[in-house]
Structure 1
Amino acid sequence: MNSNAPHTDARLILLAPEDNCLIAAARLAQGETVEIEGERVTLAKTIELGHKVARHSLAKDEKVLRYGARIGHVNEPVARGEHLHTHNLESDYLPTYTHDAGHEFVPHKS
């Protein structure tokens, strides 16, 4: 570990160096202050265990990386320390099935 690297709260996990999100290793309460790469950030909302937090500010349409892979893009500007979830993060994965009317799943018969 680089002792000169800016400090990040131990409850926020960086999965890969190129990621722009961190993963909450504990439930973090609204109003709590955490440190992200040397900057103190007060959480606007509660972040649940396993949820994503912005590592730095993200511009609208910026790609979100987790484990170094693109998992989606933000649909609005996101501040450092903000919760990344379905309210501001859209998946870039293609659907493998549809729930549209007229499309019915029919299982394969052996």
Structure 2
Amino acid sequence: MIDQRFVLLSKEDNVFVCCEQVKAGVEVCLEERMLTIQTEINVGHKIARFDLIQGDKVIKYGAPIGSTTENIAFGEHVHMHNMKSDYIASHTRQKRAGEE
């Protein structure tokens, strides 16, 4: 069962996409598991469908959109603070070599 505030775009995805803002502290049911959302999740942002390990591909629309930069637990916010684009260097919050 998927909470209606989150959508699974493809059965291959390892993230759910938020389609209605969810505040921290709200309980949701995803993959038949109850979960308390730890941080506010805005529309269009992602949460982990499974536990993800640093370096895992983030799969959305059935295709990789980037890689995790740290371990991410089931239900945690997946965004530029803990993932990076594998395609566009500017789509990360990490500094590139030589940047201050």
Tell me the TM-score range normalised by the shorter chain: 0.7 to 0.9
Q: Normalising by structure 1, what TM-score?
A: 0.78
* Aligned with residue 43 of structure 1, among 23, 34, 37: 37
Partner residue of 1:66? Answer: 60
- What's the RMSD between the two structures over aligned residues? 1.3
Partner residue of 1:12? Answer: 6
SS in 2 for 1:86: coil
Deviation digits for residues 40-91 of structure 1, max 9, x if unmatched? 1111100001111111110111100000110001111101111111100110
Partner residue of 1:104? Answer: none
* Aligned with residue 93 of structure 1, among 67, 84, 87: 87
Percent sequence identity is 40
* 1:12 aligned partner, one-letter code: F
Deviation digits for residues 14-54 of structure 1, max 9, x if unmatched? 00000000100100000111111100111110000111111
- CA distance, structure 2, for counterparts of residue 60 and residue 36 of structure 1: 22
Structure 2 portions without partners, runs of 5+: 91-100
Partner residue of 1:57? Answer: 51
Q: Deviating runs (4+, > 2 A) in structure 1?
A: none
SS in 2 for 1:50: coil
